Amino acid sequence: MASHPDTIVDCSKVYVKKSTFSNEETGDFDGAFAAVAFKEGDLIEKGVMRRLPEGFDGNTCQYIFTWSEDRPCKTWGMGSGCAPFYNTCKEGTANTRMVRHFDEDKFEIYATRDIAQDEELLHTYISLKWRTCFSDLNDIVNKEG
């Protein structure tokens, strides 16, 4: 089924299940997966971002998005669809990229390479290196080896 042409949220080509990165050390957590195969440059998902109240500290919550280019960031958002379930990876290795339209509070996620059906979808969090809630994750993702 095709999505409605007027929709501002479409995650119909993505599903969520236990991440392939879950293990005894990390415990179980979810990930986003390709419901269909994608070619490099394909739109995977689009959605909206809901800004959180002023004063919210995104450094304490890993489930929200950095929603400005300002550093330190003071604008945080809650993403629609499956976007909150995309896990991160080392810079330059992600199979997706998120295009942020801060002025419209919308985003689009595109394939950075061909992606097989049922492959886990990953993008590098723009705040991975500096958000305190990601300090342990940053160490794991950027570990040599």
Residues 70-116: pLDDT tens digits? 888 889 899 999 999 998 877 788 999 999 999 999 999 999 999 99
State the maximum Cα–Cα separation within the chain, in Å, rounded to a whole number: 46
pLDDT at 24 over 80: yes
| Token pair recorded at residue 94 | 């992600």
Query: Residue 45's CB: how many other CB atoms inside 10 A?
Result: 24
> Residues 46, 122, 45, CA angle at the centre, nearest 5°?
10
